[in-house]
Amino acid sequence: MTPPHTAFVDGPTGPLETLTAGRGEPRTVFAHGLAGSIPTTRPYAGKVPGARTFLHFRGHGRSATPDGSWPYADLAAELWTVADRVGATQALGISMGAGALCAGLAADPDRFERVVLVLPAAIDRPRQDAAMARFAALAALVDAGDREGIAAHLLAEEPAAVRGDAGAQHWAREQAGRLVGSGVANGLRSLPGQVPVTDRALLTRVTAPVLLLAQEGDGAHPDSVARELAEVLPSAILQVLPPGGIMWQHRSHVRDLVGEFLTPAADRTATDL
């Protein structure tokens, strides 16, 4: 199968790989999580109409890998660059992508008309728990080019109920192949100890409605973080799903939630990617 055609946008520190599917309004930008990718993010857009643009942050895909740490402010600058380039009025971010959105919105609270934050992992307090420590182990596997080890690590991070699923195992192998030879290890070591914003009060200025998606029992993305964000963001809608994998057992429901939220009221029809 021929991979989809991607394009490059000149980012703040080098080229950023992007993919745009669909056309017209609204225009939405989608931001993946740490060690994620455009392919792992596309399912969230299945019921979102208009032009949908996905990016690879630094170190991911074929985007540039700058030296040094990965501050959330720099990730936000990359996301804003792509959003401005395509004229996006809406945004969805997953985990690291959600953090990048929070970092950007803290400085530019009126940038988007609608925002979805999926599995936010931190706000303004550093985390030093076991879930954060596992990123260092994954970084070592990426540096070693250990595809089987990376796939096993990724699969172990998923809910126990889906680890035996053939689709989940295929996903882990595919993503492991994308990570080998990438610059992701740098981010895996530097990002977990950082925070998206210095003061969560900055997010009280965000004017857009925000859909927050979390799930119970996710050690890397505690639902308490999403609940705290819901208390800070003025127009927040919180959905906490049961355990089972937000894009595994709950995929259809999540696609419906995101599609309805990011579809203009006057146009409630959308086609799958």
8 A C-beta contact, residue 144 and residue 107: no
- The Cα–Cα gap between 262 and 134 comes to 33
Q: How much is the mean pLDDT over the chain? A: 92
Query: In the chain, pLDDT over 70 holds for what percent of residues?
Result: 96
Within 10 angstroms of residue 234's Cβ, the number of other Cβ atoms is 13
- Which pLDDT score is estimated for 188? 93
pLDDT digits (tens, 9 = 90+) for 149-188: 999 999 988 888 788 888 889 999 999 999 999 999 999 9
Residue 210: per-residue pLDDT: 98
Mean pLDDT to the nearest integer, 52-59? 98
- For residue 239, what pLDDT is reported? 96
Q: Could you tell me the two tokens for 186? A: 């740098």
Distance CA 56, CA 78 (A): 9
Give the three-state DSSP class for 211.
strand
- The confidence score (pLDDT) of residue 268 equals 58
Q: Residue 131 pLDDT > 80, yes or no? A: no
Kindly give the residue spans of alpha helices, DSSP state H, lying in the chain: 38-41, 72-86, 96-107, 130-144, 147-156, 166-179, 184-190, 223-232, 251-261
The pLDDT score that the predictor gives to residue 3 is: 58
Token representation of residue 95: 């985990």
User: So what's the pLDDT on residue 127?
Assistant: 81
Domains, in order of start, for the chain: 7-126+199-261 (3.40.50.1820)
Residue 245 has pLDDT above 90, yes or no: no
| Interval 189-220: pLDDT, tens | 999 889 999 999 999 999 999 999 999 988 88
Measured CA to CA in angstroms, residue 233 lies from 117, 187, 208, 259 at distances of: 11, 27, 9, 21
